[in-house]
Structure 1
Amino acid sequence: MRTRVAVIGGGRNCEHEVSLASAASVAAGLDARAYEVIALTIGPDGTWRDDEGLPVGLSGAARLLATCDVVFPMVHGPRGEDGALAALCELAGLPYVGSGVGAGALAMDKWATKLVAAALGIATAPGRLVTTATAAEEVWSHPVVVKPVAAGSSRGVSLVREPGHLRSALEAALALDDRALVEDVVAGREIDVAVLRRADGTVVASPALEIVGDGLFDYDAKYGGHADLRVPAELADVEAKALADAAVAAYDALGCAGVARVDFFLTEDGPVLNEVNTVPGMTEHSQVPRMFAAAGLAYADLLDELVRGAHR
């Protein structure tokens, strides 16, 4: 008998389209011999729809979810990745793929993640927290990166090289969140490592992936099809080990489950943690599936590991 899996995509946030792509890919990638997929979509207005696109509301979605064996949340960003969907599954007593409520909320909060990293001895970019109340007091002194505290897919992220651009960068970040980070620009290679808790409970780090390019790896670079992603990244053994160790340490300290993508800058002084994504992009061509494919774990097998390792 096939396992019935509810794949939830969309979401009421700025990452709606990216989440739709991830959910569609997961639904198509699950082995039809082992899994029956029930697709649910959350619209930009928050309306839940079934796999025929008909509005069913939260109550209708709950009834459909209750018929499923496992929930596979694929909503990136706020009201999804931040633990919101994990909380819904917990309250409904439904097994689900990925990190729990606490880990999702902590990792989504880039300021909190920096504090966890500091406690672990993992470097992060020097930065400060800015709120809607303090933004007017922020003064530019050198090139910085401005980003929302809780958003993903590089939405609202700006590289500010001139004083006159700081105000607009803060406005863009604070349009997506009521808190922003203003961080020093880190000179280093952009390296990602994925960490997976397999169905048997073991934790493994993927081969590292390098994002090669000039400037900011923004939304257009990520999803425009022009990103130069190299996996496995060319690293010395000591560099690869330092990155893998830091990635697993951050994953464990945050309490992650399933798969997470841990993003770094590799500098002359070692890894600098940028962020942790507990619901990373999951199309077959996204970074995480590419990294595990380089380790010999095919896309369908990665999805199978995630479903079999769902919270019980």
Structure 2
Amino acid sequence: MNVAVVMGGYSDESVISVRSGQLILANLDRNKYTPFEVHILPEGWDVLIEGSKHAINKADFSFEKDGTKIAFDVVVNTIHGTPGEDGQMQAYWQLLGLPYTGCGFYQSALTFNKRDTLSVLNKFGIPRAKSIYLSKGDAIDAQDIAATLGLPFMVKPNQSGSSLGISKVNSIEEFDKALEFAFAEDSDILIESFLKGMEVSVGVLNYQGKTTVLGITEIVSHNDFFDYEAKYQGKSDEITPARLDEATEQKVREISIKAYEALGMSGFTRSEFIIVDGEPHFIEMNTNPGLSPASIFPQQAAVAGVAMSDLFDNEIKLALERKVLFKK
């Protein structure tokens, strides 16, 4: 079975995505699959084979090598950010009838939009921070925002990952810089009240036909919050399993499954919560979580005693089953 392991993307997260792709390539069973390294980048779509690039034909997502056309049976998608985590590539592959791992194009687009995700989950009674949504060009009254949300508060791009463009605002004087930082990533931003409590990251997936919590990781950031440095430059402690009492752990598990199913998810996800007074508050859901060796999701798999190769087998099986359902 020819498997396209697709990585890269058009955002600053492309470097992280390529690391994730390498872990996938290393863990696919060569007795079952013939994997190909595929880079989707602004400068081109290419298959990399022994240092040579072979251009992807966008008409059918195939390529040629030595005059022979090679097509893919399934795509394993690990693009972080646009266009692989916001629904664009998923819609394209679906139009081609090419099965792909992860969630569908609608769920990808929905969860990539923080405001819309929070709006949907609010209907299911899932706790969250108080928030204000703004677009570039809107009139912004810092004093009014501080009065509504209290200080400190968080400023985030509405559509961005890896904590890019996020700031914690401790005083009104810091607000303009935070706005500039967030608007550099997206033209829409989300301003949220600061939640003080334990942050946990929860890996959830459909495994062997059942919504399963892979693990719960406690995040102890060395910085003010779990920012890019904390995630990728060693400025945090990630403790798996999280140090939770039994009752709180059960709440986290239940609300994580509820969020996953409420959003109609499939595939790997990593949801972030902050636990305030024993209640998990939803922050966001990542539908293409990092899969580099240092990432949280592989750490959770290791603690759970589940091989990454088994998880990828499961993902490919789900992708092929979804293709059959789609054709019907």
TM superposition score normalised by structure 1: 0.93
Q: Report how far residue 125 of structure 1 moved.
A: 0.8
Aligned length: 308
Residue of structure 2 equivalent to 1:19 = 17
Tell me if structure 1 keeps the 8 A contact 2:39–2:45: yes
Residue of structure 2 equivalent to 1:183 = 192
2:164 pairs with 1:155 = yes
Residue of structure 1 equivalent to 2:62 = 63
Moved more, 298-307 or 95-104: 298-307
Q: In structure 2, what is the Cα distance between the partners aligned to 1:168 and 1:261? A: 29
Q: Report how far residue 79 of structure 1 moved.
A: 1.4
The one-letter code sitting in structure 1 at the alignment partner of 2:25 is: A
- Equivalent of 2:297, from 278, 288, 299? 288
Residues 274-306 of structure 1: CA distance to partner in whole angstroms, max 9, x if unpaired? 000111101233111211221111222222221
Tell me if structure 2 keeps the 8 A contact 1:47–1:55: no
What is the identity percentage for the equivalent residue pairs of Structure 1 and Structure 2?
33
Alpha-carbon RMSD across the aligned residues, in angstroms, is 1.8
| Cα 1:274–1:165 shift into 2, 3 Å | same
- Equivalent of 1:237, from 246, 249, 256? 246
Tell me if structure 1 keeps the 8 A contact 2:203–2:216: yes
| Cα 1:225–1:35 shift into 2, 3 Å | farther
The one-letter code sitting in structure 1 at the alignment partner of 2:216 is: A
Matches within 5 A, 1:162-201: 162-198=171-207, 200-201=208-209
Residue of structure 2 equivalent to 1:210 = 218
Residues 180-212 of structure 1: CA distance to partner in whole angstroms, max 9, x if unpaired? 0111110110111111112x4211112211011
The one-letter code sitting in structure 1 at the alignment partner of 2:58 is: S
SS of 1:32's equivalent?
Answer: coil
Q: Report how far residue 226 of structure 1 moved.
A: 4.0
Residue of structure 2 equivalent to 1:42 = 40
Residue of structure 2 equivalent to 1:29 = 27
Moved more, 200-209 or 13-22: 200-209
Q: Report how far residue 60 of structure 1 moved.
A: 7.4
Q: Report how far residue 58 of structure 1 moved.
A: 4.8
SS of 2:48's equivalent?
Answer: coil
SS of 1:210's equivalent?
Answer: strand
The one-letter code sitting in structure 1 at the alignment partner of 2:124 is: L
The one-letter code sitting in structure 2 at the alignment partner of 1:56 is: A
The one-letter code sitting in structure 2 at the alignment partner of 1:240 is: E
The one-letter code sitting in structure 1 at the alignment partner of 2:218 is: E
Residue of structure 2 equivalent to 1:82 = 86
Tell me if structure 2 keeps the 8 A contact 1:289–1:302: no
Tell me if structure 1 keeps the 8 A contact 2:165–2:182: yes
Q: Report how far residue 272 of structure 1 moved.
A: 0.3
Residues 71-98 of structure 1: CA distance to partner in whole angstroms, max 9, x if unpaired? 0111111211011111111011011100
Q: In structure 1, what is the Cα distance between the partners aligned to 2:38 and 2:177? A: 36
SS of 1:211's equivalent?
Answer: strand
Q: Report how far residue 268 of structure 1 moved.
A: 0.3
Q: Report how far residue 213 of structure 1 moved.
A: 2.8
- Equivalent of 2:310, from 291, 301, 307? 301
Q: In structure 1, what is the Cα distance between the partners aligned to 2:13 and 2:175? A: 24
Q: In structure 2, what is the Cα distance between the partners aligned to 1:128 and 1:176? A: 17
TM superposition score normalised by structure 2: 0.89
SS of 1:208's equivalent?
Answer: strand
Moved more, 160-169 or 299-308: 299-308
Q: Which runs of 5+ in 2 are unaligned?
A: 64-68, 324-328
Residue of structure 2 equivalent to 1:123 = 127
Residue of structure 2 equivalent to 1:8 = 6
Q: In structure 1, what is the Cα distance between the partners aligned to 2:196 and 2:102? A: 32
Q: Report how far residue 138 of structure 1 moved.
A: 4.2
Q: Report how far residue 33 of structure 1 moved.
A: 2.1
Moved more, 229-238 or 51-60: 51-60
| Cα 1:46–1:247 shift into 2, 3 Å | farther
Q: In structure 2, what is the Cα distance between the partners aligned to 1:123 and 1:97? A: 29
Q: Which runs of 5+ in 1 are unaligned?
A: none
Moved more, 93-102 or 285-294: 285-294
SS of 1:159's equivalent?
Answer: strand
Tell me if structure 2 keeps the 8 A contact 1:73–1:85: no
